[in-house]
Amino acid sequence: MRIAIASGKGGTGKTTVAVNLACYLRNLGREVTLVDCDVEEPNCHYFLSPEWDFQQAHNVPVPSIDQDACRGESCLLCVRECRYNALIWMVNHVMTFPELCHGCGLCSFLCPEGAISEITRETGIMRGGKARGIDIYSGSLNIKEAMAPPLINQLKSLAPRSGTVILDAPPGTSCPAVATVHDADYVILVAEPTPFGLHDFKLSVDVLKQMELPFGLVINRDGMGDNSLLDYAKQEGIPVLARLPHSREAARSYSTGKILIEDLPDFIEQYEQMVNTIYSRQKA
Amino acid sequence: MKVGISSTGKTFQDQLDPRFGRAAGFIIFDLDSGQSEYLDNQGNQQASKGAGIHSAQNVVQAGANAVITGHIGPKAFAALDSGGVKVFQSEVKSVQEVIDDFRQGNLTQAHNPDKPGHWQG
């Protein structure tokens, strides 16, 4: 079972939920893998302090053009078909822009002269390790890189197909978030009960409905703000998986990198409820 | 010789668009014959990425040997430079005034991009 933790707004508590959920499930005796897909700002390892035993560069294949073999202006299949706008025709040659290339390989596949070969470009690193019996994978995009999805996809491919895999998504509703959640069996949306929280929650709901993914809501810092988020969830028939209370103790515990369900055991029942709701839904 | 001027509209009375990659359009003006054509650039205005280099490609395919704009980013500059196309910079004023300035040699040639990518103006 793959469970993605996502949110439209940043800083709502995705990592807190992902890390605590991983620990809760591990304590139940399950095989758990946690994949930190927020490769622009990975932070699960702050809470779990894994021993890294695996590190690998992430490379994106990018096109290299043999200008002599290229048919030139009469063809331009590669330029026309690249959906990432990574190639152009400039006066007398095809020009490539590796920073824009997603490494899909379409240009070299299409080239009728076989004039396009692939070279690699490093865009980030992937690490793996273990903490508290949980397998952890974390990726980090290099500084100045803007293209997260290829790294996220490769990072996810490291996780086993069996057991429970928890995917901590980057915030928002753009490509990196979509790349993280698209093959999840269930998505937990974490939101705060505030007007901002509700606004961005609606954006996520809209995306997940279009993707036809099952999802539920975890209200984090419940008790602050207003009731509009809860009212909206009820009105839309979105299951509320848990309501994590807004508390000074939780904030203090979080800010020192502790695991809430260990430091403040009152939180355990929230995760129990979350897991029971998700798994009973999957069985139904 | 033809120049491509980033423009907010189709006529010489329209203003120069200070953005290159996400300009509304380009007026391609033939300095010798005085003829011009308009290249709509709304497709690139809406592109998520690669607007600058595709604007460069289109302007050059329309025959421009030089480009006049307000500001230009690194990839578009590299593309034009690779094609031997010179880039000149101008303040925002009418396209007609820009052409007059260019004819009189009052515009400065850019030798480097002057804005980072994704500059919004």
Q: What is the pLDDT of residues A198-249, one digit of tens each?
A: 999 999 999 999 999 999 999 999 999 999 999 999 999 999 999 999 999 9
What pLDDT score does A49 carry? 95
Closest CA to A277 of A236, A238, A249: A238
What residue has token string 């009212």?
Answer: A231
Contact yes or no for A127/A52 (Cβ under 8 A): yes
Q: Where are the domains of chain B?
A: 2-110
Answer whether A88 sits within 8 Å of B79, measured CB to CB. yes
Closest CA to A5 of A48, A50, A43, A31: A43
What pLDDT score does A283 carry? 65
Please report the ipTM that was assigned to this predicted complex.
0.86
Report the gap between the CA of A7 and the closest CA in chain B (Å). 22
Residues 41-80 of B with CB under 8 A from A: 47, 49-51, 53-54, 56-57, 60-61, 75, 79-80
Q: What is the CATH number of domain B2-110?
A: 3.30.420.130
What pLDDT score does B118 carry? 64
What pLDDT score does A41 carry? 95
Backbone angles phi, psi at A249, to 5 degrees: -65, -40
Report the gap between the CA of A6 and the closest CA in chain B (Å). 23
Q: What is the pTM of this model?
A: 0.81
Q: Which residue of A has its CA nearest to B48?
A: A84
Categorize the per-residue pLDDT at A284 as very low, low, confident or very high, splitting at 50, 70 and 90.
low
| CA B24/CA A143 separation, integer angstroms | 32
- Read off the pLDDT of residues A43-93 as tens digits, 9 standing for 90 and up: 999 999 999 999 999 999 999 999 999 999 999 999 999 988 899 999 999
Average pLDDT over residues A19-36: 97
Which amino acid type is present at position A238? I
Which amino acid type is present at position A234? K
Backbone conformation region of residue A225, classed left if phi is above 0, alpha if psi is from -120 to 50, else beta: left
User: A86 - beta bridge partners?
Assistant: none
Considering Cα of A217, then A221, then A222, then A227, what sign does the dihedral take? negative
What pLDDT score does A211 carry? 97
Residues from chain B that touch A92, judged by Cβ atoms under 8 A, are: 83
Residues from chain A that touch B49, judged by Cβ atoms under 8 A, are: 84-85, 100
Contact yes or no for A222/A17 (Cβ under 8 A): no
What residue has token string 């930190």?
Answer: A36
Residues 68-87 of A with CB under 8 A from B: 79, 84-86
Q: Is the pLDDT of residue A123 over 60?
A: yes
Answer whether A85 sits within 8 Å of B82, measured CB to CB. no
What pLDDT score does B114 carry? 76
What pLDDT score does B111 carry? 87
Q: Are strands B25-30 and B36-40 parallel, antiparallel or unpaired?
A: antiparallel
| Residue B105 contacts A where some CB pair is shorter than 8 Å | no
Average pLDDT over residues A85-105: 93
- Read off the pLDDT of residues B62-97 as tens digits, 9 standing for 90 and up: 999 999 999 999 999 999 999 999 999 999 999 999
Average pLDDT over residues A21-47: 97
Q: Is the pLDDT of residue A256 over 90?
A: yes
The CA distances from residue A115 to A16, A82, A96, A112, A268, in Å, are 49, 16, 13, 8, 59
Element (H, E) at A87: strand A87-90
Q: Which two tokens stand for residue B67?
A: 């480009």
- Read off the pLDDT of residues A139-165 as tens digits, 9 standing for 90 and up: 999 998 888 999 999 999 999 988 999
Average pLDDT over residues B48-58: 90
What pLDDT score does B45 carry? 84
Q: Is the pLDDT of residue A277 over 90?
A: yes
Q: Is the pLDDT of residue B121 over 60?
A: no
What burial class does residue B75 get, using C-beta atoms within 10 Å of its C-beta: 0-12 exposed, 13-18 middle, 19+ buried?
Answer: buried
| CA A230/CA A183 separation, integer angstroms | 27
Element (H, E) at A95: strand A93-96
DSSP A129: E
What pLDDT score does A173 carry? 96
- Read off the pLDDT of residues A158-189 as tens digits, 9 standing for 90 and up: 999 889 999 999 999 999 999 999 999 999 99
